[in-house]
Amino acid sequence: MAASSVLGQSYDLLLCILDFLPFADLLSMSLVNKHIHFTAERHLYSAVETSWSLNSTAPTVLLLRSILERPELARYIRHLRLVGDGFQQDASIAEPPACPLDDVSFSRASKLILDTGLSYAKFWLSELKSGTVDAVVTTLLMMTTPRLESLFLGPNFTVRSRILGKMLQTAMTEPSESHQLPTFQNLRQVTFSPRYNQHQQLFVNNTTEVLPLLQLPKLRNLSVSVDNPNLFAGRLRVPPSSSLTSLEVFRLRETPLVSVLAPLKSLEKLHWNWFYQPDLDEGVSTNVIQLNVMTQAFNQVGQTLTDLTMEAQTRPSNMAGYYHQPPPLDIQGSLDDLKQLGELKRLSIPWVFLMGFSDSSAKCSRLPLPPSLEVLTLTADLSDHEQWEWHHDTILSTIKSELDRWTRPSSSKLQRIILPLPPNHDQLSHQILRELQDIGEARGIRIELA
């Protein structure tokens, strides 16, 4: 019996074969006959990755055009990745250029958008006619959501998100009878990347536009860049989420982080990227690292949080230029209350947040280790600042002193401490390192270098 006949009789066998084929081979298989084409097409569209372009019709626009022409394709898409961070052809471009739809595709999209009955439908159509990234992405999402499980929006696709935010807000908060929008019932993983050229986007604010992501009914993992709310915007209103277990947050500072974490009742993993640039989010984002507010935020999810990673980064103002010295920082408060995070197992934190910029400015009276903690990682974030006065030996001697006076509780589960030092020992005091490792071994802790 011919191979094509066998495949035609056994749909399950065909599916098994297609599952293992790379994209190029799937394309070839789709040309064999109509039956195989139909099945292969489902696989081809199950995971879609596309991008934007400068001098030709953007691939994302071509994808939208195909779906407008054949709406059934949208039902195949389970994973959608819109990728890209700038353009090699022109690094100076401020944001991705517009790419309008052709007249036929725009006419099809117009009917769908007007049928939603949204008050902002005309604005949406105006932006789509202009070909803005925001309007194209929102239209694409409106059409590809029946089975969509994961969504990745790269930096080129998050510069502006006004229409996307409005659409999400409507879909998540208003009765379905008042609109014809999808409910995103299957969407479990979303990445909303820091926008392209973020350091230059001083007058765009996405706070209210991205927070509706937290209301996606089955969302489990979210990575999102959130601008700090306007100084005069009032208290930040954050929707509750019972499904979210993993959250990565960029740019958002300490005080609004408190509001964001408060309603997250199932959060287990938090990765927070602390960021400061003097001319970005002025009045809200300052050069003061507020440690007490940090712990207040983390304690909002203290009953469920098992993994906490903090990173810290600064950037000079645009007027100063990239090669200017990092902006000076002030550290207030301490992280002593981290010991109240009773479920925490893994903690990664900048050394500076615990010990300050010098051995005379330690911010904690002792290592704030909750008994549940298994791994403590201390990083060298902000070591490029002139304020950083730590040397390899002083870091070792400080940890040695902390462990010397630390009495391990019987309930402690600590197994490893990773220090912000290079594994090359040539510049380190072998004696202090050996003493430190001996102290660690005596307390059942393995001391490692990053």
Per the CB < 8 A criterion, the answer to whether 272 and 310 are in contact is: yes
Domain boundaries, the chain: 15-45, 49-88+98-194
Q: Look-up: residue for tokens 């929102």? A: 138
CA atoms of 379 and 339, how far apart (whole Å): 19
| All residues at 6 or more sequence positions from 376 whose CB lies less than 8 Å from its CB, including other chains | 347, 349, 367, 369, 414, 416, 417, 418
Tens digits of per-residue pLDDT, 39-78? 667 777 888 999 999 889 999 999 999 999 999 999 999 9
Token pair of 328 as six digits: 């000076």
Token pair of 404 as six digits: 């010397």
Q: What is the reported pLDDT for 393?
A: 85
* Residue 316 DSSP code: -
Token pair of 326 as six digits: 């990092």
CA atoms of 268 and 368, how far apart (whole Å): 19
Tens digits of per-residue pLDDT, 90-115? 777 888 999 999 999 999 999 999 99
Q: Are strands 221-225 and 246-250 parallel, antiparallel or unpaired?
A: parallel
pLDDT at 1 over 60: no
Q: Are strands 269-276 and 307-314 parallel, antiparallel or unpaired?
A: parallel
State the chain's mean pLDDT as an integer: 87
Tens digits of per-residue pLDDT, 340-388? 999 999 999 999 999 999 887 665 656 788 999 999 999 999 999 999 9
| All residues at 6 or more sequence positions from 43 whose CB lies less than 8 Å from its CB, including other chains | 18, 19, 21, 26
Q: Look-up: residue for tokens 């292969």? A: 40
Q: What is the mean pLDDT of residues 11-37?
A: 61
Q: What is the reported pLDDT for 6?
A: 46
